[in-house]
Structure 1
Amino acid sequence: MPTPTHEEARAAADALARRIGWGKTVLFSLLPLALLLAALEGAARLAERGRPPLPADPGLGFNPDSRLFVPSPEEPGVLITNPDKAASFKEQRFLMPKPDRHFRIFMLGGSSVNYIDLELTLLAWELTLRYPGACRVEIINCGGLAYGSHRLVAIAAEVMHYEPDLILIYSGHNEFEELEQFQAARIAYLPLQRVLGRFALYRFERDRAALWRIAAAQRDRNRRILENPEADYMSGARHVYTPEEVADRMRQYERNLSIILSLCRDHGVPVIIGTMASNLWKPGLATEAMREEVQALYAQGRHAEGMALARQLLRDHGRHQASDTENGIIRALAERYRIPIADVESAVITAEPHGIPGETLFSDHCHLNQAGNQILIRAYAGQIISLLDAPCRP
C-alpha cells in the first residue's frame, strides 16, 4: 500500500476537520487540559480533608455586603462571627433576639481591642457579679486586625440590628494601615475572587502563595534584626505620605467617627469613646533617623523634649499608631456629641515612671502589654459602671 504524501495527509486531515466541525476539533484539543485540571481539582479537594483551606475574606471588609456576624448553622437563634473573618476577628457568639435582663455591649476597634478578648470576658463577669440576679452583662469583641475607622462604620451599622445597650470605641492606630489594606483588597476583582474561590485548586494555590509571602517577610525581618538588633522594624509605612495626604486621612477619620456616633445617637445607644495610648518611648516613626533623634534626647535625660519631638513627628507623617491629632479629634467629638471619654492615654501616662507612654506598658509601637491592658480596661470600666447603675440596679 503506497504511503500518502504530505499533501495527501494534510488534505485528509482537513476533510476530517470539515466533517466533525472546527468547534469539536477545538473541544477535543482542550479535552486533555480539562481532564488534567479536573484531576488536579479532585486532588486539591482530597488534600483539603486533611488540611482545610485558610480563612479567606474577599473584600477584607470594604465590600458593602460584608457582614461580621452570621446565623449559626448549628444553633438556631445564635449569631456567630462570620467564618470568613476568622483570621481578623475573635470568635464570638450571642443570642438573637436578646434575652431579658441582658446588657449587651459591643466594643469596636482594631487589634488593640482584638487582643483583649480575655480581659473583656473577665470584665463582663465582674460587671454581672456587681448586679447579682439583676443583669447579665455581655461584651462582644468587634476588634479587627488592621481595621480602621472606615470599616468600623460598616460594623457599627451592622451591630445596630443586634439590640446593643452600649457601644465602646477604641480606634485610631490603623488609619494609614487601612489605606494599604484597601489597596490589597482589590475590590474591582471581588466578583472574580468569589468565583475562583469555589475551586479547591485556586484555594490551594492562594493559601500556598499567602504562606510563602508570610514566611518571606518573616525571614527578611529576622535577617534585619540579626544585622541590627536595635533597629525598629515596626516603624515606617511603605508609602511616604505627603502633608496633604496626612491631613486628608485625618479628615476622613473625623468623618468616619462622626458617622458612627451619629448612628448610635439616632438609635438611642449610649457610647463611650477612648483616647488612644500610643508609644512615645519607642514610636514607630517614618524613618530610622527620626527614631534615633528621639532616642538621643531620651538617652540624655531630656524626657520632655524627646516626648515633644516624638509627638510632633507622629503628627506630621504617615504612621501605624495614633498621634495627638487622632486624640484631639476624639476629644472634640466627645464634646460635640456629649459622650463620656475613657481617657486611656492619660491613665497610661500617669502610670509610666517618667510620664512617657511606652517606657514600661507597651509591647510594641501601639499595643499595650498585659499591665497596660489592665489600665485600658479600668478606664472603660469606670465609665461603664456609671451607665449600668440605673438599668441594672436590683
Structure 2
Amino acid sequence: MTKEALYKLITVSLPIVLLLLLEGALRITGYGQNYALFNQVSIEGRPDYLEMNPAIAKKYFKDKGFHSDNQFDLFLKTKTDSTYRVFVQGASTTVGFPYYHGGAFPRMLKHRLSQTFPEKNIEVVNTGITAVNSYTLWDLTDRIIDQKPDLIIIYAGHNEYYGALGTGSSRSLGRQPTLVRTYLYLKDFRFFQLLENTMSSLINHEANPSKIGETTLMEVMAKEQRIPLQSESYQTGIDQFESNMDRILAKYKKNNIPVILSTLVSNEKDIKPFISDSLENEEELIHDLKNSSLSAATKKAQNNALAAYLLGQYYLEYHIDSAQKYLHLAKELDLLRFRAPDDINRTILRLGQKHDYPLVDMEKVFLTHSPKKVIGDELMMEHVHPNVQGYFLMADAFYEKMKKLNHVSNNWPTYISYDEAILDLPITAIDSIKGKYVTDNLKKSWPYNLKMAGSRALMPYSLENASYEEKMVLNLINNRSTWKEAMTQSYEMYKRKGDYKQALKVAQSLILEYPETAKLYRSAGEMCIKLNQPDKANYYFQKYAFLSDHQGLSISF
C-alpha cells in the first residue's frame, strides 16, 4: 500500500473510529436512552422472559411528559417448540384504549386461542403504542422479526397525519419518508442522541407550547389542523403510509412471516366533523332540511363536512342509502384528520394484494353489526376506538381468519364459537366503567369541544352513592391504587360475596397480565367450579399444575 493510499484510508477511517469510541464511552457512562423494543425480566427468579420496553415511546416523542400506554405482554426469551407466537402492531386501538388490559382485542384473542389450544403456549404480544403511525411500525419491524414470530397482525392507519413524525403532526420532521426513516435509524446511537440533545438545548422553542397534561394528547399532536381532501398535505400522508407499509410487508415477506392485515373502522354516524369550512347560513341549511328543501343542502354537502353530516343525519330517518353516503362523505371532508380517509383503506387493500397477504375487512364486519349499516356509538366509544363489543368483533374477526388460514394448526378441535366467546370476555366491570369515564372526559375536551383548546376537562375525584366498582375506578383515576391492587382486592371481595362470575373475570384479566403466575390459574379454576363449568376448571387447573411443576412450586387445590 502506497503512502497516499494509506493516508486516504486513515482520513476516511478516523472519523468512524472516533464516532465508535464516542459511542462506546457514552454507553459505558450510561448516557442516553436504551431504545431496545424488549427488556429481559425475571419471573420467580428466572431471567427467561421478555416484555416491551416502557421507554421505547420516548424515541418518537420529545415531550418528557408523555407516558406510553403500551401493554406489557410477557413472552419467553427462548421460544419453545410448543409456543405459537403472534405479534400485533398498531397504535391506541391496538393497545386497547380506553379499557386496556382484558379489554384490548389482542388480549381477547389470546384468551380465546389459549382455550382453543390448551396444549400450546400461546403468546400474543401487543407492540402498539399510543399516537404513533407507520414510521414507528417500520422502525420496530426488524426487532419483531428477531423474536421469530409465527404471525403478525397489523391494525394501523388512523394516526398517519397526527401520529409521531406524521406530516401534520407537531412532531413532524418533514415530508420525505427516507429522511425520517434515516433519523429513526440514527436515533438508536448515543452519539446522535448527544448531538440532538445539544441542538435542542440551543434552539429557541415556540413560546408557551401546549403540553401533555395541560390539554389532550390529540391537541398536542395536531399542528396542521386543516388538511383538505386531496390537498398536498393530504396526499403526503397517504404516500408516507404507503412507503412505510410497503417496506414493512416486504421485510416480513422476505423472512417468510405470515401477516394478517385489516381495514380500519371509524364512527361516522355519531361524531360530527371536528373541523369544517364554515357554513355561511347554517341555520338556513337546517331550515331547508326541516322543510325538505334538499337541493341547496345537497349542493353545499359536496364540499362541506358539516353540511354533509347534517344532511346524513336528516336522511337517517328517511333514506338509509343516502344517509350512509353523506355521513361517510362528512368523515372524508373533515379537515382535522383523526379518522383515516378511504385512501388509507384502499392502500391497505392494494398492499395486501401486492405482497400476497390476507386481509380482514374490519369495516365490513362493523357495518354488518351496525344498525342501519352505519358505524356509530353502538360499537364505538368515540371517533375511532371501539367499545367492548367492538373490540370483541375485532378479536373474533382475527380468530376466524386464523382458523380459515389454518394458523396454529390445521385442526381446531376445541373451536370456540362467537356465542360462547362473547359470554366469556376477560374484561372486568371496573375496567369497563373506567373506560367510559375516561371517554366521557375526553369528549368534553378538544377537539370534541373546540372551545376547550389549551385545557382539558377535569376527571371526577369523588361521587355520591358510588358503587363498589365506581369507587375502585376513582381510586385508579386519582392514583390512589394500582391496577394490580384493585384487581387483587376485587377478586377477594367478589369471591366473599358469592359473585363468582365477576371474580372469574378478574382472575382471567390477571392471568392475561401475569401469565406466569401459577396461583392465578388456580383462582380461575376455583371460580369455574363454583359456576359449574368443569371443562374450563380443568383447563385452568392443568395450567396451574404445569406452571407449578415448571417453577418448582408445591401444588395445592
TM-score by length of 2: 0.49
Shift of 1:327: 0.8
Return the match for 2:71 from 71, 75, 90: 90
- 1:77 pairs with 2:48: yes
Please say if residues 285 and 314 of structure 1, whose CA atoms lie closer than 8 Å, have aligned partners that are also in contact: no
Q: Distance in 2 between matches of 1:84 and 1:183?
A: 20
| Correspondence 1:331 to 2:359 | no
Q: Greater CA radius of gyration, 1 or 2?
A: 1
Q: Which residue of 2 aligns with 1:158?
A: 143
Distance 1:360 1:288, change over 3 A: farther
Measured after TM superposition, the shift of residue 181 of structure 1 is 5.3
1:267 is the counterpart of 2:252 = no
What CA distance in whole angstroms lies between the structure 2 residues aligned with 1:192 and 1:310?
Answer: 48
Instruction: Work out whether residues 309 and 330 of structure 2, in 8 Å CA contact, stay in contact via their aligned partners in 1.
Output: no
Structure-1 separation of matches of 2:92 and 2:118:
32
Give per-residue Cα distances to partners, 1:41-90, cap 9 Å, x unaligned.
Answer: xxxxxxxxxxxxxxxx97xxxxxx83321223775232222131462311
Aligned residue runs from structure 1 range 105-144, under 5 A: 105-115=86-96, 117-118=101-102, 119-133=105-119, 135-144=120-129
Q: Distance in 1 between matches of 2:37 and 2:170?
A: 17
Are 1:382 and 2:400 an aligned pair?
A: yes
Q: Which moved more, 1:124-133 or 1:179-188?
A: 179-188
315, 320, 338: which one aligns with 2:338: 320
Q: Secondary structure at the match of 1:176?
A: coil
CA distance in 2, matches of 1:272, 1:90: 20
Q: Following TM superposition, by how much is the alpha carbon of 1:259 offset from its aligned partner in structure 2, in angstroms?
A: 1.1
**Residue in 2 that maps onto 1:373:** 391
Deviation at 1:335, TM superposition (A): 1.6
Indicate the structure with greater helix content: 1
Deviation, structure 1 residue 266: 0.8
Q: Deviations over 1:128-170 (max 9, x none)?
A: 222332x222101111101111110111221000010000000
Which of residues 216, 220, 223 is equivalent to 2:214?
A: 216
Would the aligned equivalents of 1:352 and 1:359 in 2 still touch at CA under 8 Å?
no
Equivalent residue letter for 2:36: R
Task: Provide structure 2 residue ranges, at least 5 long, that are not aligned to the other structure.
Answer: 1-31, 57-66, 175-179, 202-207, 279-303, 414-557
RMSD over equivalenced CA pairs, Å: 3.5
Following TM superposition, by how much is the alpha carbon of 1:194 offset from its aligned partner in structure 2, in angstroms?
6.2
In structure 2, what is the equivalent of residue 102 of structure 1? Answer: 83
| 1:279 Cα deviation after fit | 1.4
1:245-264 maps to which residues of 2 (within 5 A)? 245-264=233-252
- Deviation, 1:306, is 4.3
CA contact (8 A) 1:72 1:79 kept: yes
Name the CA shift for 1:96/1:270 in 2 (closer, same or farther; >3 Å).
Answer: same
- Residue 294 of structure 1: CA displacement? 3.3
**Are residue 66 (structure 1) and residue 84 (structure 2) matched?**
no
Q: Counterpart of 1:174 in 2: which secondary structure?
A: coil
What is the distance in 1 between the residues matched to 2:133 and 2:320? Answer: 31
Answer yes or no: is 1:146 the counterpart of 2:131: yes
Within 5 A, what are the aligned runs for 1:3-82?
66-72=35-41, 75-82=46-53
1:277 lines up with 2:265 in the alignment = yes
Deviation at 1:374, TM superposition (A): 1.1
Give, in angstroms, the shift of residue 384 of structure 1. 1.5
Alignment partners' CA distance in 1, 2:196 and 2:411: 47
Gaps of 5+ in 1: 1-56, 59-64, 197-201, 203-208, 222-232
Structure of greater relative contact order (alpha carbons < 8 Å, 6+ residues apart)? 1
Kindly state the Cα deviation for residue 238 of structure 1 after the two structures are TM-superposed: 4.1
Q: State the match for 1:44 in structure 2.
A: none
Q: What corresponds to 1:172 in structure 2?
A: 157
- Shift of residue 125, structure 1, vs aligned partner: 2.9
